[in-house]
Amino acid sequence: MRVKLTLSGLKNKAVPRDHFHQLSGLIYAMIQKANPDYSKWLHDEGFLDGSKSFKFFCFSKLIPEKNAYIKAGDNGEMIVFTKDIAALYISSPVREIMQHLVDFLLLNREIRILNHNLVIQNAFASTESFESEEELFKCITPIVLSTRNDEHKTPFYLRAYQDPAQFGEFLTKNAREKFRVFSGRESSVSIVVDGEYVEKVGRKSNIRINIVDDIEVFGSVVPVKISGTGEEIAFLYDTGLGEKNSLGMGMIEIAGKRF
């Protein structure tokens, strides 16, 4: 399920260019108002698989109207909205998460992001079903994948432009693991990066994202083809691709569809 929020009150307001951490906190706060115990469980534990924890939700950045913002700050690290309206998408395959968000939206018409009070003008919920066994998607937010090796003490973030085939293999492994944890069943879903696109844009597909102070990750904005059952494709559409979905990474949309 996916919810689109239309927010107003943004004109002349400034937010960090990478405001994923703030939006993640907002989503937990919305769930917390509807069900404090569930919000705490989701934040502190989530869906466990050994030492790994999955939250199974994803979201976009604040999406302004076309060209309705300017960059500010020495390195463009802030954005200032020049019009009043922006959209925010939130999605999850977990019924309880979306139900608690809907419960919040039924009783509240304002939210607070950073120091800004914004009005929820409307909220539209939708579900997407997939009958085809493969579908082409574009990125709303960057796809993050990492690996560890002896040469790096910290996670090494994979870049799709460096090795599209390897990026697709890691993406497939991650998708199958998430589906198994969520459903309790094995998956044969596979994901392939659009190699022609990557060859054309090269390093421009690589995005540096500042999550919080002194914590940066690297993600790739590339088209991907997902092959699998309709259930598997819908699950990935709702939960996001790659890692750090609960920080907004890896949200996708059907290629050619506006968002």
Residues with a catalytic annotation lie at 28, 43
CB 144 within 8 A of CB 259: no
Tokens of 94: 């977990």
Return all residues near 3 (Cβ < 8 A) that are at least 6 apart. Answer: 89, 90, 91, 98, 101, 102, 105, 123, 124, 125, 126
CB 134 within 8 A of CB 229: no
**Cα–Cα distance, 105 to 121 (Å, whole number):** 11
Return all residues near 112 (Cβ < 8 A) that are at least 6 apart. Answer: 26, 118
CA angle 90, 26, 231 (to 5 degrees): 25
- Which amino acid belongs to residue 95? R
